[in-house]
């Protein structure tokens, strides 16, 4: 997720709010949550911690966007980026930022080094 808050000090509140509302309104999470999750009212769909990073250039922003879009393929959820229906990738294709077939097997060499974990 990439955010551009008006006040960087509000970042933790924004993340907490997103996690809370998503978890409240969507029935997702681990099938057998651990005691720690249940005890804290967590569902296990999010990592407990998050990595906050300030993006300093257009190239770095583009690399992070590519990473986010390619992640469902990397983790084996789909074979092509365009197949992940929950992605903002489709909006980027409409805006002509990507070709609709970006992230296919032909592109793997160009994007395999996108690993920000």
CB 75 within 8 A of CB 64: no
Contact indicator for 20, 26 with CB cutoff of 8 Å: no
* Exposure class string for 13-50: b at 16+ Cβ within 10 A, else e: eebeeebeeebeeeeeeeeeeeeebeeeebbbebeeee
The yes-or-no answer on residue 86 being catalytic is yes
Q: Of these residues, 70, 77, 86, 98, which one is catalytic? A: 86
- Residues 19 and 46 sit within 8 Å (Cβ to Cβ): yes
Q: Which residues are catalytic?
A: 86
């Amino acid at each position: 997720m990439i955010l551009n808050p008006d006040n960087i000090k509000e970042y933790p509140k924004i993340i907490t709010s997103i996690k809370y509302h998503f978890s409240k309104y969507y029935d997702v999470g681990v099938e057998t949550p651990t005691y720690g999750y249940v005890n804290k009212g967590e569902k296990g769909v999010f990592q407990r911690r998050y990595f906050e990073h300030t993006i300093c250039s257009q190239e770095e922003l583009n690399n992070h966007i590519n990473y986010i879009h390619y992640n469902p393929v990397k983790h084996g959820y789909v074979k092509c980026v365009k197949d992940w229906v929950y992605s903002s990738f489709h909006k980027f294709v409409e805006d002509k930022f990507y070709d609709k077939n970006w992230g296919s097997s032909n592109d793997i060499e160009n994007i395999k080094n996108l690993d920000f974990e």
